[in-house]
Amino acid sequence: MHPGCTIWFTGLSGSGKTTSSRIVAKELKKMGLPVEVLDGDVIRKNLSKGLGFSKEDRDTNIRRIGFVAEKLTRYGVYVCVAAISPYRETRNEVKESIGRFVEVHCHASLDVLEQRDVKGLYKLAREGKIQHFTGVSDPYEEPEAPDAVVRSDGSETPEQSARKILDIMRRKGYFRQVSEKSPSAEIMIS
């Protein structure tokens, strides 16, 4: 069985992790590849229910997501993970355990994120109504050498970002032959 790949989208709240992961997942599905999206908000409500936002709980959450992603990747699934995952050491630990891994840093300045604050979370964090909010009252350690940086500040479209990620996956050799009619996985962004 040919292994899949984990594409790990990390970044501050509102930086485009979910949007980017869904676009990449859609394109992978178009290629006929098995895909699963593990969204941090959904995981928190199900797999990690009851965990708080201490460093230890955040690390436990990321390790749980990594465990699931590693199992799926091993069995040929392309896993798109969208999770803040604020601590570099834990992200690197998960990356090492999975192996076939693309780290994507979804980046926009804190100013841009606070201006577009769709969920109103930054405002609540600034008012002290949300404790331990990554980027405001808790740290976010940017990746030192991500495979891709998604510029979610408007300098590139989500489709351009997805194309960049898929190109990196191709260069790393993470696509397999899907059928007789499709000798190589093609990247088509509509």
Catalytically annotated residues: 85
As a whole number of angstroms, the distance between CA 162 and CA 157 comes to 9
Residue carrying structure tokens 């331990």: 132
Confirm if 117 and 123 have CB atoms less than 8 A apart.
yes
SS3 at position 189: coil
Rg, the chain, Cα only: 17
Amino acid at 83: A
As a whole number of angstroms, the distance between CA 63 and CA 110 comes to 26
